[in-house]
């Protein structure tokens, strides 16, 4: 059994009390999304086995999948070396992004088409 209090003491939350959480599909290693957790959301995530976030826009907790059915079941978690970012490995049921996409990271900024569009609007 892990010492939850010890983990929470180690985490370096930002000045708003939040911790960025990178969400990754556990078996394919596909990065699905980024969310934020405060200490309570982190506690819920680690003890309940479902990912809970703090919504910065709505100022409330939300557990992925409660309304959409697109749940995230925790398979593992790790703090980075500075203890200021969390990696959560999940089994994603359905899509991860609110747009309906499998993952939130779907635009390649190094794609020549994206680069050309950016250059066209930059005035150079």
Measured CA to CA, the distance from residue 89 to residue 124 in angstroms comes to 42
Cβ atoms 53, 40 nearer than 8 A: no
Identify the pLDDT of residue 113.
65
99-122: pLDDT as tens digits: 889 999 877 777 766 556 655 554
- Domain of residue 80 covers 4-120
Residue 24: CATH number of its domain: 3.10.20.810
**Statement: residue 43 has pLDDT above 80:** yes
H or E, element range at 14: none
CA distances from 23 to 31, 47, 55, 92, 116 (A): 6, 17, 15, 9, 30
How many Cβ atoms from other residues are within 10 Å of residue 97's Cβ? Answer: 14
Query: For the chain, what is the domain count?
Result: 1
Identify the pLDDT of residue 114.
52
Identify the pLDDT of residue 1.
40
This prediction has a pTM of: 0.83
């Amino acid at each position: 059994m892990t010492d939850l209090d010890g983990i929470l003491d180690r985490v370096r939350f930002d000045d708003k009390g939040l911790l960025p959480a990178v969400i990754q599909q556990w078996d394919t290693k596909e990065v699905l999304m980024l969310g934020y957790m405060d200490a309570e959301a982190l506690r819920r995530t680690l003890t309940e086995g479902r990912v809970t976030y703090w919504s910065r826009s709505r100022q409330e907790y939300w557990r992925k999948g409660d309304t959409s059915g697109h749940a995230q079941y925790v398979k593992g978690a790790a703090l980075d070396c500075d203890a200021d970012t969390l990696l959560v490995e999940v089994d994603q049921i359905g899509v991860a992004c609110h747009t309906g996409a499998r993952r939130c990271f779907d635009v390649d900024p190094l794609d020549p088409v994206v680069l050309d569009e950016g250059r066209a609007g930059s005035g150079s």
